[in-house]
Structure 1
Amino acid sequence: MPNNWIGPVDKNCSAFIQCLYGNVIQQNCPNNLQFNNITKECDYPDVVQCDDGSLPPSGPTAGPSGTYCESKGRCLGKRDGTMLVDDKNKCSGGYIVCQCECEVAFTCSAGLAFNQQVLACDWPENSGC
């Protein structure tokens, strides 16, 4: 391969290889990101949609930044970046993003609600509110 060639690692979504002066260097993407072979950069798992068969991190150190979280079950087994409506705050713009099987709460800008069909903040009438 030519110098500075970058490509994926078989059966490892979070790693990539780079060829430098005839040497192969394997690197890992940080923070649960995965290698995007189209952009040649580390990217969010929901964008890359790579499945190498590995289970998401779990246990007491699986939370964002290694902190413990209460998952409430909705993010168990879900890929990082999965977006869900926050049922308690649905029409006030609440939504959840799964990270390491933990629920990270977000809120849409004032006047908007989370639309589960398009996975984005939208006008309330489009979001079922």
Structure 2
Amino acid sequence: MVEETEVERAWRLLLERDPTGLQGDRAVLEAAYAEPRLRVLFPFPSHGCLTFHRNSRFPWSNDLPFIAGKEPCKVYGPSYSSVLGEGLTPREAAALVVAHLPLDCGPAFDGPWPPPDGHAD
């Protein structure tokens, strides 16, 4: 049996143990999980936002776009640097985040930021 990764565990806990969406809007969580490129990132719901990180432990990467609110959603650039879209459905918001991910944004690694090799992309 293969052990689940920290990222897989985080998604599972959000989706299975929180059927009411208390850790974030349920539709936003499900739309983000449906996107393969987001599903491999570490999800972190907080303050009405669903952020995505390249790593699984604090301190977080904080260099990726994220979804704010529930429908209608808003998508911000990293650290609220810009508004990438607003008035979006959860599916549109998740797709917009994917469209703005760096090309080299692969699966999250287990551990704190910066990456173990010391090179932050």
What is the TM-score of this pair, normalised by structure 2? Answer: 0.23
Computing the radius of gyration over CA atoms, which structure comes out larger, 1 or 2?
1
Name whichever structure is richer in helix by fraction.
2
Name whichever structure is richer in strand by fraction.
1
